[in-house]
Amino acid sequence: MTIDLLRNIRLIDPVAGIDRVATVLLDRGRVVAIDPEPFEIPDGATVIQAEGQILGPGLVDLYSRSGEPGYETRGTLAQLAAAAIAGGFTQVALLPTTEPALDRPAMVKDLRDRWVTLNGPKPRLHLWGALTQNAAGQQMAELAALAAAGIVGFADGRAIGDPVLEQRLLDYGGALGLPIALYARSRVLAAGGSVLEGAEALRLGLVGAPPAAESSAIATVLEWLDERSAPVHFMRLGAARSLPMVAAARERGWPVTASVSWLHLLCDGTHIDGRRPLPGSDRPASPYDPSLHLQPPLGNPTDRLALVAALRSGTIDAIAIDHAPYTYEEKTVAFAEAPTGAIGLELALPLLWSVLVAGGELRALDLWRALSQRPAELLGHPLRAIEPGSHQPLIRFDPERLWTVEPSQLHTTALNSPWLGHTVRGRVVQVWL
């Protein structure tokens, strides 16, 4: 029997703006009825008493990083697909920072072919094409050829650093109509900084990167946009200082969107040395855990609060997972020397819900919109409302289920998460693709 009756489940639909308790009848994920009459329920339907649980559209990851091809020891595509499904992500978009990079149509086709051959359930795959050759920030890639290969947009996933090259990329790439995702960051100003400059950097004894490393790079891009129209997406915002500039550009009607990493909504510099418990846990991370060396570097508490407020106001459109698997050997080094990034596909929804929604910082609809509706729209694949007759990926989430983040519970060999060994609350319990 493939028919499920979810009794008294909390239905969250960001497209329709609905957040209410309902009974939902599903046939292999297709919505048959909402609050059905008794005669509409077929014999043999699987009845699930779902009080306290949540039904919502599948989550959409705006950008993440894959080990395969090139760095399979960090993680394979099969592991990434399994982790995504376990975390409720039914669409994922991968950055081109593989080896070789996705800077030519042949590389895009190769990764798609690998994805198609994966066994088991897997999310829908989207690919970002590289802005520059080898995503190295030196020479422009074959943008028109990549666009014809069916990418969702252009991104290097790294700071380009050359404002003249950025100008040319906006001129050429903007004419193709696809979003251009920029990690706006001055390499010169940010050099050596492993935490955002401020009181926390001084206390931690770490080299601080000034907020101007981000805001000055954003200002340069906005200067270019004053003379041309190109759909720009600012990825990985991390400094409070940048947010008014992005808001002002949007108020002018410029085609500017923005996203933030899920970890920057939860953590700041006060969590690095183990002084405070990790959000969603009753104990701190290991002092100077390299999994908290992120891109951009973690900021001060005021930066985190400003990012959450910008998400509430709509200045920031979406939350990205920016899943970045690394091997134990790569991450088991001094904090400032570790590669930047952490895994997150299986942890993002439970921790964002238990900390931000349960903690009153975000509405449930705001969180689901930023994790599903808006990233889907930015990728050019908008969601539909959940209503009778609709058929799209759905997930069932139990926000009270406790589980321990340990290797046997994860779907990846990469374990670079500060929550490793911690008990967290909330887990996806069913996915309809």
In angstroms, rounded to a whole number, what is the distance separating the alpha carbons of residues 102 and 149? 11
Report helix, strand or coil for 72.
coil
CA dihedral 397, 398, 401, 404 (to 10 degrees): 10
The residues that bridge with 432 in the sheet, in sequence order, are 394
In angstroms, rounded to a whole number, what is the distance separating the alpha carbons of residues 316 and 246? 8
| 88 contacts 45 by C-beta, under 8 angstroms | no
Give the residue among 5, 15, 109, 104 at the shortest CA–CA distance from 48.
5
Sign of the CA dihedral with 367 first, then 369, 370, and 372 last? positive
Q: DSSP code of 335?
A: G
Q: How many CB atoms lie within 10 A of CB 51?
A: 11
In angstroms, rounded to a whole number, what is the distance separating the alpha carbons of residues 206 and 96? 30
Give the residue among 323, 375, 389 at the shortest CA–CA distance from 29.
389
Q: Is the peptide bond before 388 cis (omega within 30 degrees of 0)?
A: no
In angstroms, rounded to a whole number, what is the distance separating the alpha carbons of residues 300 and 126? 33
| 93 contacts 64 by C-beta, under 8 angstroms | yes
Q: Which segments of 274-315 are extended strands (E)? A: none
In angstroms, rounded to a whole number, what is the distance separating the alpha carbons of residues 352 and 137? 33
Q: DSSP of 6-44, one letter per residue?
A: EEEEEEEETTTTEEEEEEEEEETTEEEEES--GGGS-TT
The residues that bridge with 128 in the sheet, in sequence order, are 153
The residues annotated with a catalytic role in the active site are 322
CA distances 260 to 153, 226, 296, 345, 351, Å, are 17, 24, 10, 15, 15
| 182 contacts 214 by C-beta, under 8 angstroms | no
Q: Mark residue 274 as left, alpha or beta (left: phi above 0; alpha: psi -120 to 50; beta: remaining).
A: left
Residue 177 burial (C-beta neighbours within 10 Å; 0-12, 13-18, 19+): exposed
